[in-house]
């Protein structure tokens, strides 16, 4: 029986970004240097396949520092942590390594600089997301006001409307964030923005690639975890750009083949915390069922690399 033809449009860039790659290396190098177990506060990155792989190597994932013993090294996730977390680790004389993405750290530094200048902060982000919690935790309570939508801007009650700055979570929808920034500028004309966009290069690049693919396809799959902000935004971007059937899948086993029966063009991408092996797995699953023509749609090239902390590069 002959397989039906299908064009698989692969959006590029996709998958691991430099911050995720660095965070995973930090855990692997820590296990190599200090032996297992190594404790990791929160999932190092939001991907079950990655987390399970590191757990198999000797990483123990916990939600809070209180769940870690004093005598084993602990790593803070790529999403960043509130200042109170490393302060408590230091008080307990723990060995700790901060795997916060350098682009998230940049936002932390920005917030501190504005605070030092006497400005109150508005953070555009998702309530409850680890990155938002970590960024808001860089400053004292009340110094960071959170907005999630343009509508939220109307209900903001700042201390002084003329003394405000805004920062953003690094994994937001570029288009949605532009709308919120416009609302902030309209209501608070003197608000200070970042020197350079807070939304990271990887988030922006993956969204641009999806925008290029979405009009070409009848269905689009995003490989990523349900708790991955950047992956969920890719689904939204695809829908907003003409592909109504856009779904998040963690593995090839989650693909609803009946839902895409009869289509001739499918888009594929992966969130910044999804490894290449899962992209290959999905492509192979399509090849099992279809006569696949793979079409790469590349809108940018990435060659950024972040160094791991010096403590891991030094001998034990």
Instruction: Check if 66 is active-site.
Output: no
Instruction: State how far the Cα of 245 lies from the Cα of 113, in Å rounded to an integer.
Output: 43
Helix (H, G, I), strand (E, B) or coil at 177: helix
In contact, 298 and 13? CB cutoff 8 Å: yes
Q: How many CA atoms lie within 13 A of 310 on its CB side?
A: 0
Question: What is the dihedral angle through the alpha carbons of 165, 122, 201, 21, rounded to the nearest 10 degrees?
Answer: 120
- Phi and psi at residue 196, to the nearest 5°: -130, 145
Q: Tell the residue number behind the tokens 């070409």, with chain if given.
A: 216
Read out DSSP for 63-118?
Answer: SSGGGS-TTS-EEE-TT---THHHHHHHHTT--EEE---HHHHHHHHHHHHHHHTT
Instruction: State how far the Cα of 100 lies from the Cα of 202, in Å rounded to an integer.
Output: 15
Q: Cis ω on the peptide bond leading into residue 146 (within 30° of 0)?
A: no
Among residues 93, 131, 298, 305, which one is catalytic? 131
Burial of 74-91, coded b for 16+ CB within 10 Å and e otherwise, reads bbbbbbbbbeebbebbee
- Phi and psi at residue 27, to the nearest 5°: -65, -45
List the catalytic residues.
Answer: 131
């Amino acid at each position: 029986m002959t397989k039906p033809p299908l064009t698989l449009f692969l959006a590029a860039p996709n998958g691991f970004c430099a911050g995720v790659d660095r965070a995973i290396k930090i855990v692997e190098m820590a296990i190599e240097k200090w032996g297992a177990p190594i404790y990791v506060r929160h999932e190092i990155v939001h991907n079950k396949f990655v987390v399970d792989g590191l757990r198999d190597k000797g990483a123990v994932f916990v939600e809070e520092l209180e769940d870690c013993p004093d005598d084993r090294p602990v790593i803070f996730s790529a999403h960043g942590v509130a200042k109170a977390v490393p302060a408590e680790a230091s008080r307990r004389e723990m060995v700790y390594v901060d795997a916060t993405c350098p682009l998230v750290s940049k936002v932390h530094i920005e917030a501190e600089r504005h605070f030092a200048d006497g400005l109150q902060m508005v953070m555009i982000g998702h309530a409850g997301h680890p990155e938002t919690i970590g960024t808001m935790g860089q400053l004292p309570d009340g110094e960071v006001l959170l907005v999630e939508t343009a509508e939220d801007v109307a209900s903001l009650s700042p201390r002084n409307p003329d003394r405000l700055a805004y920062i953003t979570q690094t994994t937001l929808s570029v288009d949605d964030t532009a709308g919120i920034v416009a609302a902030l500028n309209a209501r608070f004309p003197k608000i200070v923005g970042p020197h350079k966009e807070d939304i990271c290069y990887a988030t922006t690049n993956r969204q641009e690639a999806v925008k290029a693919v979405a009009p070409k396809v009848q269905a689009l799959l995003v490989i990523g975890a349900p708790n991955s902000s950047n992956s969920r935004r890719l689904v939204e971007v695809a829908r907003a750009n003409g592909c109504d059937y856009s779904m998040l899948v963690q593995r090839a086993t989650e693909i609803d083949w009946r839902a895409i029966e009869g289509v001739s063009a499918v888009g594929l991408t992966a969130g910044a915390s999804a490894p290449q092996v899962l992209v290959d797995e999905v492509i192979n699953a399509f090849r099992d069922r279809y006569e696949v023509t793979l079409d790469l749609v590349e809108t940018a090239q990435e060659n950024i690399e972040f160094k791991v902390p010096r403590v891991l590069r030094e001998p034990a």
